[in-house]
Each structure stands twice: as C-alpha cells, then as structure tokens.
Structure 1
Amino acid sequence: MWDRQTKFERNPILISDDHRNSNPLELRSLPELIHEKALLYPDKIALRFRDHVLTYHKLTNSVNQYARLLAEYGIKHGCIVGLAVDRSPEMVVIMLAIIKSGAAYVPLDPEYPQARIEFMLEDTGACFLITEEKYGDRFQYKGKMILREDLLRQALQYPTTPPKIDIDMDNLVYVLYTSGSTGKPKGAQITQRGLVNFLVEMQYEPGLDENDRVLALTTISFDISGLELYLPLITGAEIILTDAQTSKDTRLLMEIVKKQGVTVMQATPATWRMMLESWDKRLPIKVLIGGEALSKKLAEKLLEKCDSLWNMYGPTETTVWATFKQIHGDDEIITVGRPIGNMYAYILDSQLRPVPDGVVGEIFVGGVGVGKGYLNRPELTAQLFMDDPFSDMPGVRMYKTGDLGRIVNGGEIQCLGRIDHQVKIRGYRIELGEIEHTLGKQKGVKDVVVLPKDERLVAYVVLEKDQRARFAEWQKALRRTLPEYMIPSNFVTLPAFPLSPNGKVDRNALEAIRQEMEKANRVYIAPRTEQEQLIADIWSELLQIDQVGIKDDFFELGGTSIVAMQIMARLERETGRRLPLAGLFTANTVEKLASQLELDELSISWDLLVPVKPTGNKPPIFIVNGLDMNVLLFNNIARNVDPDQPVYGFQSKGLNGVDEPFETLEDMAAEYIAALLEKDFGDTYALAGYSYGGIVAFEMARQLQAMGKHVKMLAMFDTYAYNRGHFETGLPRYIRKVKRQFPKLMFVTNSLMRQPMETIRYQQAFFKRKYNEFAVYMGLQNPPSTDSAEDKINAKYEAAYRKYHMQPSNACIIDLFRVDTRLYFLDDPIYLGWKSYALKGLVVHNVKGNHKTFLMPPNDKDFAILLQRLVDKRMKPEADT
C-alpha cells in the first residue's frame, strides 16, 4: 500500500489528496492498465453475464481483435463512434476496442427516444454508429452503420495480439450527453487522462482489489457506469454485469448480490432506498452512493446493512466522481468529503472569491478530470469552463458546477443543492427547461413550468385560449424526444402563473396552489382507521368541534399554536410517536397526520425551513423562532398579512429528539442559510427573528452579506441584544450587577403599580427559578431533568448565546418591534441594546402586548398590518439597504 501524504490548504480552497507518485502527466492509458492485469491474471474471470463468463485472457484477446477490425473500418484518432447496443459482454468489448483504437464513443441507450439518439449522432458528427440488427432500421443516420452481429463474426479472423496504436492521453475517450436548459442536451467531452486518473484514484480509495466483485447495473449513458466497467478491469477484480431489465428490479439485484457474492455496488439514493426493501440481513458489501443528495436517514439505514458506505460527488463534466467521503454512523453532517487525487474543489462567491469556512458559496471543480467543455457549444463552454486562478499550471481550467456548498468539519464539502432549476430525479440530472421547452411546443400549451415533487415531475400548464388539456397526447409527444425519467407524471392546468416581484414565475407558490385546488373540492369523510379516529377525537375535543372529517383543515377549524402543542403532546402520549409541530403546516388534515404517524421514524421530515404560507407574489419574509420553538405561532402572522405575502419560518434542530442541537450560534445561522439557499428565492431577503431568534437572524444577515447577498430588511421581534455581560469576569462583572439593582427595584415598583397581578406572577416565577438554581448549586436538590428534546435544545442554545460575540453590522437598517408591556427589567428599555450594533440605523416600532402576547390574538392582527407595511417599504427595488 502506498504511503499517503495529505496536502491540504486551509479553506476555502480544497486541495486534493496527493499520494504515491500519481503525476497526471505520467498516467498510462486505460488499455495499457487492463493489459497488465490480463498478463497477471490470465485465467481469472473478468466479466460475468448470466451464465456467460469471460476470463482476462479471453477479454483482452477479444478487445485486440475488435480493435484491429475497427481500424480496418477506419475508426482511429479523432473519430467519434456512436454506440447503441444492448447490455452484454460484447458491449464491454466494443467499448474497450473503441478506446484502444484511439477513438471516442458516445453512449446511446437503445431505450432512449429515437429523436434524442438521432440528435446526439448529428451533434457529434459521429463517423460511425455501432448498433444491432434489431435497431438497424430505427435511426435516420447518414454515416457508416456497423452491426454488432457483423463484428462478432468478422473479429474472429483477426490476430489476438495488441495493435500498435499510440493513445494520446489528452484526446477524448467519450462524449456523454446531459440535459440542456435550452431544450437540447449538451455533450460533455471527457479525456483519457481524466478517466484514468479517476480510476486510479478510486482504486486506492474507496478502494478495490483483485478479490472484489463489482455489480455493473448502470446504463452506459450515465457516466458512473465507467467505474463499474473499467475500475474492476484495471484491478484484477470481477464484473457482474446485469441486463437492462434486471437493473430496474431491485429484488433481482439483491438476489444477484447475495448469490454472486458482490462486494462493491454503486447506485443512486433512489435505487438504494428500493434495495433496502428486500435487504434482510447485513452483507459484506461496500456501498457507493451518489448522483443526488444522501440523507442522514438513508445513511443510517445503509450502515446497518453494509460493511462501509461512501458518499460520492462529481458532475459529468469533471469525470464521474470528483470527491468522496466514507460515512460513519456518528457523522453529524453528511458531506461529500474532499477531492480525489489531482482534483481540486473551491467554494467561491459570485465574484469568484473564496469564502470562509461555513459560508455558503458555489462549488467549482478543477484538476485533471475537468473535461474539454461541451461539444459544439463554445459560448456555454466559455461560461462554465474557465481558467483556474488558483493553479500555477498554465492552461488549467475549473468547472462552474452550479451546486451550492460550504466547508465544514475542518475541510470537507457539504453540498446544499442547485443554484438554478436543474434537479436530480432518481440520480439523473435534469434541466427542467428542456422539458418545459419540449412541452411548450405542444398543441394547446401557452406556458409551462415543470417542478420536482417526491421523486417525480409535475407539469403546471397554462392553456391557450379556448383550448383543452391533452395530457395523454402531451405525454406521448414527450416520449418521442425525452427519456422516461423526464416525463412528468402529473399535469396541473392553471389560468395563469403566480409571479414574483421581478416578473418571473413564482415557482415556490405553484405547489401550494395545487394543494389549494385539491382542497376546494373536498367534502366530509369520516375516519376510516384507528389512527384517523384517534386524531379526529383529539381534534374534536381540543378544538371543541362535534365532528371532524379526515379532509378537514386544522387551521380552517380554528386551530391555534397552543392547541397544536396540546394535540402533539396528546398524540405522543397515546402513540409514543413524536411528530414535528411544524408538520401541521403540511400534515394539516386528519388523513395526512395519520399518514405521518404510520411513517418510519427516520422518514419523518424535520426540515429547518418551514413553509408557513408559501403562496404569494411579494418577496417572502423569513422568521427565526425563539426558545419557545413554537413555529406555529408564525401562522398568526401569516393569516393577517396580505394574501400575496409569503411567510416562512425556521424551526430548531433537534426537536425530533435524535439530531443534536447546534453548538454555536454561528453554525445555527449557517445551517438556516443553507436551508434557505436550497430554494430559489433570489439574492435579496427579508429576515426577522422572535426573541432569541432575532440574534440568529442578525448573524444570518452578517453571513449573507459576506456571501454577496442583500438583506433589505432585518426585523427584531422584541429581541434584546445585550450579551457583553456574559464575557465579564471579576470586579467589572460585580460592579455592573450592583449598579443595576436600584433601577431594577424602581422598575419592579412601578410595574406593581401599573399591572400588579401580572408583575406578581412573573416575579414569583422568577424567584422560584433563582431559588432552584441556588439549591442545585448548593447540592440541596438534583438538577432539573433535561430529558425532553426542548430542554436539551434550550440548554444548548443558551450556551451558544453566551459564547456569541456580537459585532456591529452594516447589512441594513434594523427594525425593532418593541412591546408596550414589559414585565421584566432591561438595562436599555428604549433600544433593547441594538443602537450600537445597527450601523445603518435603528427604527423602533411600538406594538401592543407583552413579550408573549404581542403575536397572539387580539394583538396579532395589528402587529401583522404593521409588519406588512414595513416589508412593502423595505423590499421596494429602490429601498435603501
């Protein structure tokens, strides 16, 4: 094993791990590496397909024969060869023969639509198309067509010795098409050097040796198939190749894994989730996962079943996987780790400047694996493939991935979704614009927006005047040009699209509109199951309503945040299941809430960003909750602001009783920003925070400003800013405490005269709390139980606040909502400590109520009206930030 020397520069630039002497200029070609292993393991099985096996000796002999035959056809350096054949041993042999001839191939899955395959052939200018007899009449192709059956017969006449062909490592090895935003796919050009570097690095880590068996299930039109087909062959390992039908049936795949003793398997999260359904016992298998985000829940389930789990990341344009990370059960954050050898990763802002650790930016990838750009797309290539300013090697480029990320854990990359509207469905990268472009050309369609929803696609369509929906016709037309995974499974027709303030379609509002349309046609339906009956009975009792149907909406029935807390507490007592309070925004009916109870605990969503009211054309406001953690309280705001004002809330991490709360306030703000940036809300934000949440919103504004984003509104809902006292020690701390006692006494005296009962209750609770703290300190009683998730979060968040050093900010004007009824003493009752921190100014707004009641009826309506006026004022395009 080589001695690994790690070379890593401090963030925000991630430098690859360099080990051995893997100089990319000294890499040998893929055919050379496979030939070496064939000499070392001639009689070892290289490839197994059903009952058919190929030894390394037989495989290389066949590749040599095919390469010589292809040379006779005229396939050589500079040629691009289309390959549209079924999955079989011959497919692998032909791919290797094309590479050995010095040419490049473009993989064409025969299951893809004819029009898509013909476009790829035309766009590449493919000199040759290798296909099968059954597909011979399918394609309108002007070049030379070669049939697999002919090759199989003719190749036997050629010598098995390697042909004398010099391979230029900087030449293309394949062109792989990815979804394009303009309605046409784009061909990423990958070099021999990039592919070999990737394979050599994967051989080292995650690691492969001659005793491994690798399951090859991925279509060759998906670039990760390169690992499954080539990595075993440069290692002396065995390929277990599946046919197209088997690769789609996870039950059959699991049978193969067990029967054939597969030790390494690679798949997308969607495939692994399906595999788990038939995975009954732990297996000695190494799991590679990539293509879309890996959730902590899925990681935990896989770790129970496999030997090791590796999270992989890399765009097609940078040669399969660019980074990797072994995932462990105690990982708090799921990351994609660090770059492989001779690859580099940078987290940059919009000006291509590195951002600090923990701050979100765009992921750029540099190094040997960066391809030559897009075939015949010079403008797009120039836009996304650019000179690498962080490399001292001339001509080196980096790729702008369009993925958001940040550096955590001392140097690992955490991926945070897409900047644009590109999505991944079941591991396939999809430009929604390509589907929209194609669907928009169909009869009757005036405008269309396509969005992902739970591993499927939903098309929202505005019809031409006097036209009707033609769902079946549209799907049929799409299938003529798009693969199956790009066909929307659901269509929703609308009279018009909701628009954002900048005149663009408000995509965030479309899903809520679909739900509202479904809601309009609901009628009373009685409970059908024990769970539904239990929930309906609890709602009926606590909402004081005689009859509750399974389709009735909690909020429409008059549900409040207080009642919601009572409902969730009762359900936890009755069922032993803890559900997120914020879940009532989406699981807002008896039927949906019952479905949540039936889910596996790991499948329940505890998302940080909660859509309180996602519909509306105005800029949304994002509110951070306080230590009471009752995000449903923001529903009082949402119900009373303008109908077209979206409202979102942030809820605490750890409410599920499983995840650990944030350790620092900075981390809390960064995670909230990460959750915010996963959605497409633009670059300007309106932030607010209630109580403790105001401090978090303040830190969020600071971090967003550092990222080049614009915070145009920062509102404090009765938040006190002073915390310098936590850092005082010795005599200064004692003097400050003594000096505040007389004004505190005067405040309590005046408060008793104005509101005696409220003041007495507050002071009683205060002195009881202080006595208990003193008794614990003196050992007179045990510390209070912190078994509940809420108590644990409170303790962590209070500790985080004590460690947080506030610094003045010039992000924007700070708007302070100050209650007119105060039950506790403050050193600064006028500005609540904010004046020294608001460099751009502080505006105070008086609101009715005390710290707890100003957001509740009857004060909530007046508060919401005042807040709406402020949002409208601050978020105007010309508003001074």
Structure 2
Amino acid sequence: MADLAAGFEATVREYPERPALTWKDRTWTYGQVDERARELASALRDMGVRAGDHVALLLDRGPGQVFAMLAATMLKAAYVPIDTRQPSERARFLIDDCGAKALITTRARAGIAGSFAELLIDEVGKLQGRRPGEPLACRGDRQRFRRPGIHHLHLRIDRAAEGRRRSSPAGHASVQRDRSPLRIRAGRRLDHVPLLRVRLLGLGDVGALLHGGRLVMVPEEAVVSPEDFLRLLASERATVLNQTPSAFRGLVSADKAVGFSSSLSVRVVIFGGEALELESVRTWMDGRGDRTPQIVNMYGATETTVHVTHRTITGQDLERQIAPIDGPIQDLVLYLLDEALNPVPPGVVGEIHVGGAGVARGYIGRPGLTAERFTPDPFSGSPGARLYRTGDLGRIRADGSLEFQGRADTQVKVRGFRVELGEIEAVLESHGAIVNAVADLRDERIIAYLVPGEAGLPSVEELRGHCARGLPEYEIPAVFVPIGSIPLTVNGKVDRRALPNPAADRAASVLTYEPPRTAAEQITAEIWGAVLGVERVGVHENFFSLGGDSILALTVVSRMKSAGLGVELQDVFRDRTIAKLVAGGRESRPERAVEPFELIGSADRARLPDGIEDAYPVSGTQASMLYHAMMAEGAGFYHNTVSMRLRGPWRRRRSGKPCQTRSPGTRRSAPASL
C-alpha cells in the first residue's frame, strides 16, 4: 500500500456503505467520510497545499479532526495537531514554528494566526469558508526532512524534558506498520479515548479506518465522567478500547460501582501512553475475568511511531509488581544498553533503544537533539540504520520477559536511594480502601495523593503499615494527601503539576500530621522544627523525609540531651519518628563530664611532657588520616586550604590568642612518635 490515503480509499471501495465514524447521535459511512474529506482536500489544494507541506489542525474534539486529517493525507501533506486548550499565543507560536502552509480551524478561532491562510470548518467537518492569506515565514531548517518521493504524514509537537518544543515527523509506511499487532478485522468497532489528536496515527484511528471498522469518538462530557463513558461503551457496543492507564482507573471504578453488570462488547483493551499499574487491571479482572476482554499492554514513543512492544496481560501477571511489556513488534528491534551502548545482562537495568522501520527521522529544527537521541545502530548491517534512545529504563527478567523500570531522567533519589514512584503507587493501590494513588517528590519528600473509596481513607498508621509491608523504609511516603480525583493532562496522563501543594494547606489536606501527645514529644517536636526549619512536626513524620541528615541529627541529639531527653545518634537513625523516639517515656541519661587524662592509661600519661592540659586516644578516622599522610609524605591528602576575606583591624597576636583560648581544638596536636 503506497500511503495511508491509498489504504483508506481501498477500504472505501470495498465497504462504501459500512458505518465508519460515530459522533454522539450521528454516524457517517465510509463513502460519506471520503466525500467530506475530499471536499476539504480540494479546498486545501486551491490554497496551495502540496505534497510535503504541513497543515496545522486547531480543532476541538469531534469528527472534524478525522476529516481534516484525511484531507491532508490525500494531498501527501503532513498534518500537525495543535491542542486547543492552550493559550492563543502558544498556539500561534506552534503554527508558526512548524512551518505550516495552511491552518484548518473553526470560525470561533478564525484569525488566531493573524493573516495566515485558514480553512474554516464546523464541528462535524463541514466546510464553512476560507480566509486567504500568506504562509507564515518558515525557518530554513524546518524543511530539511523533505526528500524526493518521501513524505511524512504526521508532525507531533511536544515538549522535551528541558521544556523546549520538539517536533518529530512520521511517514506513511511507519504509520501503516503500527497497526499490525491488533489485526483489527472489518466490522469491528473501535472506541478511542481520550483525545483523537493524541493518537491520530495510532492503532485507534488507522486500524479502524483501514480495515472497515467503526471509529466511535468520545464526547468531552463522557471523557470527564467515567459513568457516562461506561454507558457509551455499552450502548455503542465498542469492541476495542484504546486508553491510558490513568483514564482506565476511573472506568474500573464506575464498572465496579454497578457490580460489573454493564453489558459490554469489548474484546480488547489496549493500554499505552504511560506505565501500566496492575492494581486497576486486577480489579477489572476480578470482575470480568482475564480472557474477555483481552488486556494488551503496549509500550512505545512518538519517535518510534507510537508502539514498540505489546504484551497480553493474564491473571498470572498480576502476581508481579511491575507489568511486563515484552518484546518488539514485527519490524522493530529493541536493545537494553548501558551508557557506552553495550548490552546489559539479564536482571540489570539498561536504557531502552529502538531501531527498525518505525523510527522517526529526527526532530525538525533541532539538529543537536536529533544527534543526541538518534544514534547510529552498531548492531545493524544496514547502511544508515539508527537507534532511538528512548530515555526509558528496562530489564530482562529470569523468565525472559521485559519490564519497564521508569524514566532515566525522572527517577527520583531520596537520601541517596533510587526510588521508582510507580512502585509506591502500586503498593498504595493494593490497599482495599484506595481507588487511585499518585506518588510525587516535593521538597525532597515523597508525597502520596490518594483517591479514597466509599469507606474513606484509613488512618495514617494503617497506611504506613501497609506501605512498610511492600516498600523499603525510604520509599514510605512522608505525607498522604486526599484528593477527589487524579488530574489528567489533555493526553490522558497524570498531570503532576496540577496536584495540590501540601504546604499550601497542610492542616486541611494532609493526613500525616498528628500533634505531640506528651511533654517529651512536644519538646522533641519543637527541637526538630527549629533544626529542620519546619513550622510544625507531626509525631509520625520521618526525620530524614523532612530534610534531616547525619549532621542535623547530631544537632538534634545535642539539643535533646540538653533538654533532659536521653537519646543517642543511633536512636535517631533507627526510630526516625518522634513517636518511636520517645516511646515509653525514655529517662534522661545525663552524661558525666570526662576528667582530663581519664581516657588514657598510666603508662601513656607518664610519657607526656609537662604543660599538657589533656590527652586522649586518636579516633579511627584520625588514625586513618595519619596512616595515609605518613605513607605518602608531602602528598597533602588531608591538607585543606580555606581562604576568606575579613574587614576590620587585624592584630595577629591579639586575635589568635582568644581563638585558642575558647577552642581546645585549636590547641590540639599529635605527637611525632605516632
């Protein structure tokens, strides 16, 4: 099949009267979809759009998106979906930045790009008019991916980790091969969630429209209401559901609320876009079994034309903590490599690299980033073969399955430990009272955002105890925040930036805080708060999660001893919370001052010269320093030089003597006989 448009036209010829697209209470046949798309394509051609050009789509959710996408592909132009929820200035910048030849939008947004040429349609894709104009100025490097006879179909613009935009084009061949794992057959209905613009190239749209399926587009009101969405699934008898795991959680909750009694025709549920947490799948399978519908976990990236691997999830997989993603599909290759591009052995985490037919050509206008992320394939014998460095981590298990291990650039560290937030979320969601959970790192503390079930959230002690059974101590959240629902981005992924800040309304929103109950706890809380710079400290909050370290722990121990609380440094490292530290009302253990020369024997005392005020054995650290200094004389391993600028009169003799008087350390020396 030469390109996507030819594939769609072949389906139109074979099934002209078959339903192709449903939106609310309207359905279009393949013949009707083709007719409307050709009308828009003709208008675009009259506006000067040719093969290889870019056509920007600034359209709300609706069938107009499908007609506009098909119109661009019929001209062998690339369509560029622009999110309508962002500010006008941002949308205008993206339209300009992608070098679009024309913009397809609605009358409500006419003129958003100034004098730019616009094709106006309504919600259902009916032509409303044109606004002639000149294409916005294109930077020269935007067209560098054009090659004779090669045209890309779709240009996806998103933000890189550093916040800058990046655009990756995908070709017709790449998109057509992406549908292959599903094997969607004619007559199947495909439900697509949540936003058409996110997966215009994916299995949802292409698979349905190239194989005689019916694409059911979900209205906005059903997207935000799991109950309405469940009713839509049942009424439309959708057979394939393509959804992000975050959005799927709401559907599972709605289905569980009615006892999984809804009559669904879903045969396949496809997950993609983010890591799959198995707890929601476990709840779904408990109600509906693990055979129908079939659960498919797919992994991929925009730069690899969406999908790379696929794995059918069964009941046996629910015993794992991490959902497997398995091997690459058909004409792709996948490697787990270290930083030097060497393969890592089974069980060792490596970065996922992808090669093969689905790999994009790079980022338009970002040659540096393209060179960084798209590297030559050292394992391929094909000239020009490249690997895409995904930035994702994975490892091969003993049984040969592949596990997703999170992002290489977003893994968090807590007190020196690597922490995968998804693991924390999975443990929290395994609690029967928790519907959804999201873990995040804020101010060096792990924050758990929890959506409770009907019975409400359990106590802090129960939550901590539950986490302790499945997580190491350093991964137990410091704060638990109840929220009504998990905020999602327009892509259906968790919107972490929209999560509430616990510090903004700590008393009202955070479950962690429990005030001191005894005088000893009150004193300890005040000391911790002063040392750590925290306004108030709950008795169950972790000292190190609040920002404590070994140095601050020494200060805390010193102040607690001064307050009459008998505590040692190892107690803080072992107990970590005020409740445990002062449990049972520890008695003060006042320490007797050590007398001069008490720490050395009489023989050593006799060897000391007159005028010495005190002496004591060297510590292990001091002995080590002396050993290395004597082994390599003149090397200066432990010679620290500190420079500072002082203002004011300086009298060396008068200034140095008071320092020596006040600080015994400045009068200390080690005998040469050591």
TM-score by length of 1: 0.47
- Inter-CA distance 88–493: structure 2 relative to 1 (3 Å threshold): closer
Q: Is the 8 A contact 1:104 1:175 kept in 2?
A: yes
Residue-by-residue CA offset, 1:38-88 (whole Å, 9 max, x unaligned): 122111100111111111111122222322221111111121111011222
Indicate the residue corresponding to 2:32 in structure 1. 58
Q: Is the 8 A contact 2:310 2:326 kept in 1?
A: yes
Indicate the residue corresponding to 1:116 in structure 2. 90
Q: CA deviation at 1:229?
A: 1.8
Q: Is the 8 A contact 2:182 2:203 kept in 1?
A: no
In the alignment, the residues of structure 2 paired with residue 321 and residue 336 of structure 1 have an alpha-carbon distance, to the nearest angstrom, of 11
Indicate the residue corresponding to 2:347 in structure 1. 358
Q: CA deviation at 1:270?
A: 1.1
Indicate the residue corresponding to 1:292 in structure 2. 274
Q: CA deviation at 1:226?
A: 3.0
Indicate the residue corresponding to 2:283 in structure 1. 301
Amino acid in the other structure paired with 2:198: F
Pair 1:232 & 2:182 matched: no
Indicate the residue corresponding to 1:315 in structure 2. 301
Give the alignment partner of residue 152 of structure 1, picking from 109, 127, 131: 127
- Inter-CA distance 178–616: structure 2 relative to 1 (3 Å threshold): farther
Pair 1:247 & 2:223 matched: yes
Give the alignment partner of residue 199 of structure 2, picking from 223, 237, 240: 223
Any idea what SS the aligned residue of 1:277 has? helix
Pair 1:276 & 2:252 matched: yes
In the alignment, the residues of structure 2 paired with residue 316 and residue 639 of structure 1 have an alpha-carbon distance, to the nearest angstrom, of 47
- Inter-CA distance 225–197: structure 2 relative to 1 (3 Å threshold): closer
Any idea what SS the aligned residue of 2:254 has? coil
Give the alignment partner of residue 104 of structure 2, picking from 114, 130, 149: 130
Give the alignment partner of residue 47 of structure 1, picking from 9, 21, 26: 21
Q: Is the 8 A contact 2:176 2:206 kept in 1?
A: no
In the alignment, the residues of structure 2 paired with residue 614 and residue 370 of structure 1 have an alpha-carbon distance, to the nearest angstrom, of 44
- Inter-CA distance 640–254: structure 2 relative to 1 (3 Å threshold): closer
Any idea what SS the aligned residue of 1:195 has? helix
Q: CA deviation at 1:417?
A: 0.5
After TM superposition, list the pairs within 5 Å mapping 1:508-527 onto structure 2: 523=515
Q: CA deviation at 1:216?
A: 2.0
- Inter-CA distance 355–491: structure 2 relative to 1 (3 Å threshold): same
Pair 1:188 & 2:162 matched: no
Indicate the residue corresponding to 2:500 in structure 1. 490
In the alignment, the residues of structure 1 paired with residue 200 and residue 398 of structure 2 have an alpha-carbon distance, to the nearest angstrom, of 27
In the alignment, the residues of structure 1 paired with residue 100 and residue 234 of structure 2 have an alpha-carbon distance, to the nearest angstrom, of 41
Pair 1:69 & 2:43 matched: yes
In the alignment, the residues of structure 2 paired with residue 422 and residue 170 of structure 1 have an alpha-carbon distance, to the nearest angstrom, of 38
Pair 1:208 & 2:184 matched: yes
- Inter-CA distance 309–637: structure 2 relative to 1 (3 Å threshold): farther
Pair 1:327 & 2:333 matched: no
Q: Is the 8 A contact 1:109 1:220 kept in 2?
A: no
- Inter-CA distance 611–78: structure 2 relative to 1 (3 Å threshold): farther
In the alignment, the residues of structure 2 paired with residue 640 and residue 217 of structure 1 have an alpha-carbon distance, to the nearest angstrom, of 48
Q: CA deviation at 1:181?
A: 3.0
Question: Which structure 1 segments of 5+ residues have no match?
Answer: 1-26, 156-166, 427-447, 457-478, 495-513, 525-544, 557-587, 593-609, 620-634, 644-864
In the alignment, the residues of structure 2 paired with residue 90 and residue 377 of structure 1 have an alpha-carbon distance, to the nearest angstrom, of 31
Indicate the residue corresponding to 1:143 in structure 2. 116
Q: Is the 8 A contact 2:44 2:102 kept in 1?
A: no
Q: Is the 8 A contact 1:206 1:310 kept in 2?
A: no
Residue-by-residue CA offset, 1:671-708 (whole Å, 9 max, x unaligned): xxxxxxxxxxxxxxxxxxxxxxxxxxxxxxxxxxxxxx
After TM superposition, list the pairs within 5 Å mapping 1:605-644 onto structure 2: 615-616=547-548, 637=570, 639-640=572-573
- Inter-CA distance 340–452: structure 2 relative to 1 (3 Å threshold): farther
Pair 1:392 & 2:381 matched: yes
Q: Is the 8 A contact 2:8 2:209 kept in 1?
A: yes
Amino acid in the other structure paired with 1:298: S
Instruction: Report the identity percentage.
Output: 27
Indicate the residue corresponding to 1:511 in structure 2. none
- Inter-CA distance 64–453: structure 2 relative to 1 (3 Å threshold): farther
Please give the root-mean-square deviation of Cα atoms over the aligned residues, in Å. 4.4
Question: Which structure 2 segments of 5+ residues have no match?
Answer: 131-146, 413-419, 423-441, 451-488, 526-537, 552-567, 577-618, 628-636, 639-674
After TM superposition, list the pairs within 5 Å mapping 1:416-455 onto structure 2: 416-421=405-410, 453-454=447-448
* Higher RCO, 1 vs 2 (CA within 8 Å, ≥6 residues apart): 1
Q: Is the 8 A contact 1:217 1:242 kept in 2?
A: yes
Q: Is the 8 A contact 1:46 1:239 kept in 2?
A: yes
Any idea what SS the aligned residue of 1:278 has? helix
Larger radius of gyration: 2
In the alignment, the residues of structure 2 paired with residue 638 and residue 314 of structure 1 have an alpha-carbon distance, to the nearest angstrom, of 47
- Inter-CA distance 194–115: structure 2 relative to 1 (3 Å threshold): same
Q: Is the 8 A contact 1:338 1:411 kept in 2?
A: no
Q: Is the 8 A contact 1:169 1:191 kept in 2?
A: no
Q: Is the 8 A contact 1:170 1:192 kept in 2?
A: no
Q: CA deviation at 1:126?
A: 1.4
Q: Is the 8 A contact 2:245 2:275 kept in 1?
A: yes
In the alignment, the residues of structure 1 paired with residue 569 and residue 394 of structure 2 have an alpha-carbon distance, to the nearest angstrom, of 34
Q: CA deviation at 1:614?
A: 7.7
Residue-by-residue CA offset, 1:81-121 (whole Å, 9 max, x unaligned): 11011222222111111011111111012122223212211
Q: Is the 8 A contact 1:109 1:219 kept in 2?
A: no
- Inter-CA distance 78–519: structure 2 relative to 1 (3 Å threshold): closer
Amino acid in the other structure paired with 1:146: L
Amino acid in the other structure paired with 1:229: D
Q: Is the 8 A contact 2:201 2:305 kept in 1?
A: no
Give the alignment partner of residue 104 of structure 1, picking from 71, 78, 97: 78
Q: CA deviation at 1:265?
A: 0.6
In the alignment, the residues of structure 2 paired with residue 189 and residue 453 of structure 1 have an alpha-carbon distance, to the nearest angstrom, of 37
Indicate the residue corresponding to 2:605 in structure 1. none
Residue-by-residue CA offset, 1:312-348 (whole Å, 9 max, x unaligned): 1101111111111000001244211111111111100
In the alignment, the residues of structure 2 paired with residue 266 and residue 212 of structure 1 have an alpha-carbon distance, to the nearest angstrom, of 13
Amino acid in the other structure paired with 1:136: A
Q: CA deviation at 1:399?
A: 0.8
In the alignment, the residues of structure 1 paired with residue 269 and residue 52 of structure 2 have an alpha-carbon distance, to the nearest angstrom, of 37
TM-score by length of 2: 0.60
After TM superposition, list the pairs within 5 Å mapping 1:381-780 onto structure 2: 381-408=370-397, 410-421=399-410, 453-454=447-448, 485=495, 487-491=497-501, 523=515, 615-616=547-548, 637=570, 639-640=572-573
Q: Is the 8 A contact 2:246 2:494 kept in 1?
A: no
Pair 1:267 & 2:238 matched: no
